[in-house]
Amino acid sequence: MDAPTKAIVEFVRSVDFSSLSASCVHGIVRNLFDAVGCSAAGFNGEGTVITRRLAAATSGDFAASAFGLPNLPLAEFAILTNAAAVRDRDWHDGGLNAGHPSDTSPAMIAVAEATDASIHDLIAAVFISYEVVGALGKDAQFDGKGLRPFITSLATVAGTGMLLGLTDDELANAIAISVTPSIPLNIDNLVRQSHWKSMGAAHASMTATLAARLAKEGMTGPPHVFDGRGAVWEAVTDHFDLDHLGLPVDGRNVPERVTHKFFPCFTESQGPIAMILDLRNEITPDEIESITLTVTDTAWQQGAGELTPDNRKWDPPTKDVANHSLPYLVAKALTDGPITPGSFTPDDVLNPSLRPLMQKISVLRDDGFSKRRMSVHEENAVMEVELSDGRSIRRESKHPRGHPLNPMSDEELTQKFDGSVARVLPAAAHSELCDRLWNLPDESALGPITALFRDFTNTP
């Protein structure tokens, strides 16, 4: 067993619910609660609907609930469509330099349901998956390398492996099987986003769960999947270690250190949107001469990039590009107010009247900001607005609402949840789901919650 495999196996073996602090458990509850709300927002996403159709055609002994399907599909397909729903609006948690940890939560819930696991085991499995994501995000070692589904695979297999009761050897095999056939390509994600943008992590979570089940049935995998010849370190990443897996930072574990998004768009757009909304009280779009936004390299890569004909972020054709376009998001917020899921209808995204304002926006990157993002997780952004009357206005943002150092309150998370869930559940069911999720550690069984997942509908 190579070192990373051993670290994951030993970590999984060390975790049980009773070892988790109360604040960590509350963090997990907040994250699951937010993920379910995001799935309601993404319930009608195109990728979600497509995968729901595929899931509906499946069934089997290892089955789990999918949002909006009365019958239980095969667990892997429940995971695929549920994770697609969570991901669809780009509204779910993050901030770990390793993607979105809640991409793995549908797999934990589905496998917990299929194995009739206890709520406490589910919470422990979610903890495991978040810690693996957090550990792989250390020092942003994979940032910008398109490896987020790879991280999702490892986090999923660790958590589902625990729920399936894998032995150490079985878990090591599951880790190997989850990774070897499935190194993801992050093709064109930054410039021509397609349905697959929402599916890479969902697919990884699906295949990682299958890997765990194969290992449980006796399938072995390469014993040196990280340090072997042709293995991960040689073919995909450089050497990394997971010695820090599970260790708190400043007294907080990973579930307590994630970002929750106030607006349904990429993480580092949250600050610029908040700044322009603040300026909205002082200025109108007609007064704008120019807006210069200076951000981290990550924000620049994800939300702007070079102004080239191939880069659609400067003229987004779809919601999936628009929610990663700083010019669109800033112009839209200044024109219409807070960004919501309703800000990305085709008419909105293609609205020609926004384009002149978008063309007044420029986005620069600052090395110092990028370094501080890596070293102390600041999301620095500066907005400088030049007005036609010669005035200049400047705003700065470092820890936007939802950042772990400026967290959304439980009440804010509930408001976010309510806005989405009210669209897919009748009032009584909506209220019941909200209560049960906030009360999760004391719930006696998962069944009543997943039954409400199955009740999601377009006509609540």
Partner 1 sequence: MDTITEQLVTYTSEFSESVLTDPVREAALRHVMDTVACAIAGYHLEAPKAARIVAKMAPDAKGATLFGDGTRVMPELAGFANATAVRSTEWNDGMLAMGGGHASDMIPAIVGVGEVTGASPKDVFLSIVLAYELLGALGNTFYRRKMNWGIGTNVCPAAALAIGKLMGLTDQELAWTTAHSVCTVPLGADHGHGTIVKGASVAKVLRTAIFSANLARAGMAATDRPYDGIGGVFEKVSLAPFDLTLPAMPGGPMVIETSYLKRYPTEAHSQALLGFVIDKVRPWTTAEDLESFDIETYWHAYDSLGRRDKEVYDPPTRERADHSMPYLLSVALVDGELSYRSSFTEERVADPALRPIMEKFTVRENEEITANYRPPGMEIIGNPLYRVKLRKKSGEELNEDVTFPKGHYHNPMTVEDVDAKFDDACDGVINDAQKEEIRDAWWGIDKAQNLSDLIGTLAKFG
* Interacting residues toward partner 1 by CB under 8 A: 46-47, 50-51, 53-54, 57-62, 74, 146, 149, 173, 176-177, 179-192, 194-196, 199-200, 203, 207, 210, 213-214, 217-225, 228-232, 234-236
Smallest distance, partner 1 to C-beta of residue 230, A? 3
Dist. CA 293–CA 314, nearest whole Å: 14
346 by Cβ neighbours in 10 Å (0-12 / 13-18 / 19+) ranks as exposed
Helix ranges, 42-165 (H): 46-56, 75-88, 105-114, 119-136, 148-163
Smallest distance, partner 1 to C-beta of residue 152, A? 12
Smallest distance, partner 1 to C-beta of residue 370, A? 20
Q: Which is nearer to partner 1, 173 or 380 (CB)?
A: 173
Smallest distance, partner 1 to C-beta of residue 203, A? 7
327 by Cβ neighbours in 10 Å (0-12 / 13-18 / 19+) ranks as buried
Phi-psi domain of 146 (left: phi exceeds 0; alpha: psi -120 through 50; beta: other): left
- Structure tokens of 152? 């999702």
Q: Which is nearer to partner 1, 28 or 164 (CB)?
A: 164
The residue among 22, 249, 35, 30 whose CA lies nearest residue 134 is: 249
Specify whether the CB–CB gap between 312 and 327 falls below 8 A. Answer: no
DSSP 383: E
Q: Which is nearer to partner 1, 222 or 341 (CB)?
A: 222
Smallest distance, partner 1 to C-beta of residue 244, A? 24
Q: Which is nearer to partner 1, 29 or 176 (CB)?
A: 176
Beta carbons within 8 Å of 394's beta carbon, 6+ residues apart: 382, 383, 384, 385
Q: How far is CA 350 from CA 287, 318, 343, 347, 356, in A?
A: 23, 8, 11, 5, 12
Taking the alpha carbons at both ends of the chain, their separation in whole angstroms is 51
Sequential DSSP letters for 192-235? S--GGGGTHHHHHHHHHHHHHHHHHTT----TTTTTSTTSHHHH
Dist. CA 200–CA 198, nearest whole Å: 6
Smallest distance, partner 1 to C-beta of residue 47, A? 6
Q: Which is nearer to partner 1, 176 or 254 (CB)?
A: 176
Smallest distance, partner 1 to C-beta of residue 108, A? 19
Q: Which is nearer to partner 1, 5 or 380 (CB)?
A: 5
Smallest distance, partner 1 to C-beta of residue 378, A? 27
Q: Which is nearer to partner 1, 236 or 277 (CB)?
A: 236
Q: Which is nearer to partner 1, 173 or 294 (CB)?
A: 173
The residue among 236, 253, 235 whose CA lies nearest residue 244 is: 253
Smallest distance, partner 1 to C-beta of residue 187, A? 4
The residue among 163, 15, 158, 37 whose CA lies nearest residue 93 is: 37
Q: Which is nearer to partner 1, 169 or 241 (CB)?
A: 169
Smallest distance, partner 1 to C-beta of residue 390, A? 40
Q: Which is nearer to partner 1, 61 or 250 (CB)?
A: 61
Tell me the three state secondary structure of residue 442: helix
Alpha carbon 104 to its chain centroid, in Å, reads 9
